[in-house]
Amino acid sequence: MHENPASATITVTAVEVRELTDQEQSLRLQLERQVERAFLSAGQALMELRDRRLYRSTHRTFEEYCRERFGYSRDAAYLKISATVVYENLQKFLPTNGQEIPMPTNERQLRFLAKAELEPAVQADVWQQAVEQAGNKIPSGRIVKDVVDRIRESTKVPNPYHIGEICILLPKDNPDLRGKAGYWCVVSHVGEYSCTLQTWDGDYTVKIEHLKSLELLDEDCFFMQRLCVRLQQLHQVASPDSSVVCDGRKLGNISTHSKLIFT
């Protein structure tokens, strides 16, 4: 004979809820912040490993080191570093007049803010607007992207460069351009916020903030365009005259070696 389910007895064990002591509450907050900021400490560690070249005893490049040691792609490693820089900017520039603005807890929330390459004060403004849009909670990466797009559209500046123009590179915080300060390039494509460039060792796509026009005459631009092609050819051959290629990278040395390069 089966029991009627409606008349079955369910035993519930009471769970005692104990309040945390002040010391336990403080420890909990400390540990929660540690979990939330794990991405921050990771980015800071990667930045120091890169800047001090602590990978050099085992790996030729920082990118190879991150891939083999941590399984990070190049983009993933630099995203962690960029997110850390943005986080530190937020700490400096967010208002502190009694407002409790929640901070990011992972790099995905800062992905689009890091890629937008905005000024630190503007980054803080974007984050504050995103928090408000999320109901004063930590916003998703999508909300941050919406605010970034809105701000960039409202402050949109036409791309001032044109194809064939000769510029010098301003690396700033762009890891792709490290070591290329003062190198010259030829603009080969003009986008809305960026340009594609030809340099002696390949092509790069950079934001317009990383360029400065040399304002050369058309005939000088044409000469530099031909020179760039020749330098690329020298760079690609098996055993180029390295002194010529290296000296041809910076504008200050071009006049010295132009005849040699074109012979």
| Among candidate residues 130, 125, 124, the one with its CA nearest the CA of residue 145 | 130
Cβ atoms of 76 and 8 within 8 Å: the answer is no
Q: Mean of the pLDDT values across residues 191-199?
A: 86
Distance CA 114, CA 27 (A): 32
Is pLDDT at 236 greater than 90 in this prediction?
no
Query: Which of the four CATH numbers 3.30.160, 2.40.30, 2.30.30, 1.10.3470 does domain 166-262 have?
Result: 2.30.30
Q: Which residue shows structure tokens 């001032």?
A: 160
| Among candidate residues 151, 152, 228, 158, the one with its CA nearest the CA of residue 187 | 228
Q: Mean of the pLDDT values across residues 114-124?
A: 86
Is pLDDT at 261 greater than 70 in this prediction?
no
Is pLDDT at 127 greater than 80 in this prediction?
yes
Q: Mean of the pLDDT values across residues 145-159?
A: 81
| Among candidate residues 204, 175, 198, 203, the one with its CA nearest the CA of residue 63 | 175
Domain ranges of the chain: 22-154, 166-262
Q: Write down the pLDDT at residue 213.
A: 92
In which band, very low, low, confident or very high, does the pLDDT at 17 lie, cut at 50, 70 and 90? low
Q: Write down the pLDDT at residue 23.
A: 87
How is 95-109 classified by DSSP, letter by letter? --SS--PPPP-SGGG
Q: Is the pTM of this model over 0.75?
A: no
Q: Is 61 helix (H, G, I), strand (E, B) or coil?
A: coil
Q: Write down the pLDDT at residue 253.
A: 43
Is pLDDT at 225 greater than 70 in this prediction?
yes
Please give the single-letter amino acid code of residue 42.
Answer: A
Is pLDDT at 243 greater than 70 in this prediction?
no
In which band, very low, low, confident or very high, does the pLDDT at 89 lie, cut at 50, 70 and 90? very high
Q: Mean of the pLDDT values across residues 119-123?
A: 90
- Model pLDDT for residues 21-46, shown as the tens digit of each residue: 888 888 878 877 776 678 888 889 99
Mean pLDDT of the chain: 81
Q: What percent of the chain has pLDDT over 70?
A: 81
Residues in the chain: 263
